[in-house]
Amino acid sequence: MRIIGLTGGMGTGKSTVAQILQQHGIPVADADQLARQALVPGSPVRARVLHRFGASIQTQEGELDRVRLGQIVFADPSERVWLEEQIHPFVKTELHHFLEAQQGSPTVCLMIPLLFEAGMEDWVSEIWVVTCTPEQQRQRLSHRDPLIVDQMEARIASQWPLTEKIQRAHVVLDNSGSLSDLQRQVQQALTIAPPHWVG
């Protein structure tokens, strides 16, 4: 099975690439979506998170205040590490189930923003990194999340630099241009086998 590990920086366009892959009939598992599932009401992970951070991360309606939780963990690396230690085992289990369920598929994609940071390179047969300019990255993040500049920079800094991810990639997708250009790059990457497949 060809397992594409799709990663990149925040706001570079991973979700757009995932949508293009799905249009090609390729199943995609989204680690971010699974991380949100880990925190659904009644889950043991959510219970541990609420016990650690208390009422400060709950809304008046009793919902999890993800914005406030994000502010806490991106301001304190030790808290972010603790939270990831709670969520990552759940995500890895669900990704394993996804791969088992897709055994008949010739190609699948695992969209894992923290692929390198979590040491999950061995889960995939090739790594695709989505990039754009730093200005575009920050502009897209500011449109997506109501973050002040310091918060945005803290989130970007919490991940490996894009330059480092690019060095370890089999495929680099430049998302600084048009959607049609990105679609062309994805099509080309699907057609051409990565270098380590040759021979």
Domain definitions of the chain by residue range: 2-194
Token pair recorded at residue 196: 């380590």
Largest Cα–Cα separation, the chain: 60
111: CB partners within 8 A, 6+ apart: 6, 7, 14, 15, 18, 28, 29, 30, 31, 32
| CA nearest neighbour of 114 among 158, 174, 71, 171 | 158
| pLDDT value at residue 133 | 87
pTM: 0.85
Tens-digit pLDDT profile for residues 77-105: 899 999 999 999 999 999 999 999 999 89
* Range list of H helices, 29-148: 31-37, 44-53, 66-75, 77-101, 134-144
Straight-line distance from the first to the last Cα atom of the chain, in angstroms, rounded to the nearest whole number: 17
Helix (H) or strand (E) holding 7: strand 2-8
Place of tokens 């990039």: 131
Instruction: Report the relative pairing of strands 28-30 and 107-111 from DSSP bridges.
Output: parallel
| pLDDT value at residue 148 | 60
Q: How far apart are CA 4 and CA 124, in angstroms?
A: 6
Residue 175 burial by CB count (10 A; 0-12/13-18/19+): exposed, middle or buried?
buried
- Residue 171, SS3 per DSSP: strand
Superfamily of domain covering 2-194:
P-loop containing nucleotide triphosphate hydrolases (3.40.50.300)
Tens-digit pLDDT profile for residues 131-174: 998 888 778 777 766 666 666 666 667 778 889 999 999 999 99
- Residue 138, SS3 per DSSP: helix
Tens-digit pLDDT profile for residues 23-69: 999 999 999 999 999 999 889 999 999 999 988 888 878 788 888 89
Q: How far apart are CA 130 and CA 65, in angstroms?
A: 29
